[in-house]
Amino acid sequence: MFSPIQLKAYDIVSLAFHVNLSFEPSDREPHFILSVRGKELEQTEKTAEAVPFNLDLHTAHTCEVNEEEKQADVYTLLTLEVNSDDDDFKQAPYRIEVSLGGAFVATRLPDDEKDRQEVFRIIHVNTASVLYGIMRQHVLELTRQTRFGGLMLPMLDFRPVIDALEPEKTQKKTRSPRKSKGEARKKASEG
């Protein structure tokens, strides 16, 4: 069965990539620290020789609901900053900031408002997850082209990430049912 959430298009909205040429290559394991808007959520296990990678996520999300068709046009913007702090960058091979925007359509929306709120949360979790998967691939390909080798970002569970965001950041609009071109022309000629 096809998912009720489909990606229609995505854009690399912005990309900044810096290589720390004074970083000494090694076989040290990466140590990932996950933050949402600067608030730390989790860390991987740290060894004494680990290379720090501070991952800071930001997301913005809009939903425009078409009540007649029981679907929503969704736009999600996901931004990832890796080692944006100068002290972190001095200890690591890369500094990266990338933003991806994705246009999605979500179908089969429930009628009940309480159920719909949970569906909107699930939509936000899934759209951010899809964009992060695309982002991971871009970061891996970019970093592979340096002397330090590819950086495979860890997979993430976006449920706690989305829960950490402020609820008012999601904007929802209700759209009137679309009129056919013939109806629109008829109405325009009457007025």
Q: What is the CATH number of the domain that holds 98?
A: 3.10.420.10
pLDDT exceeds cutoff 70 at 81: yes
Q: HSE-up of 161 (CA within 13 Å, CB side)?
A: 25
DSSP tag of 176: P
The boundaries of the domain holding residue 128 are 5-190
Residue identified by tokens 């959520």 is 41
Q: In 3D, which of 74, 71, 82 has the Cα closest to residue 116?
A: 71
pLDDT in tens, 135-187: 999 999 999 999 999 999 999 999 999 888 754 444 555 554 444 434 443 44
Structural domains in the chain (count): 1
**The model's pTM:** 0.83
- Listed in sequence order, the residues at least 6 apart from 74 whose beta carbon sits closer than 8 Å to its beta carbon are 5, 61, 62, 63, 64, 103, 104, 105, 106, 123, 127
End-to-end CA distance of the chain: 46
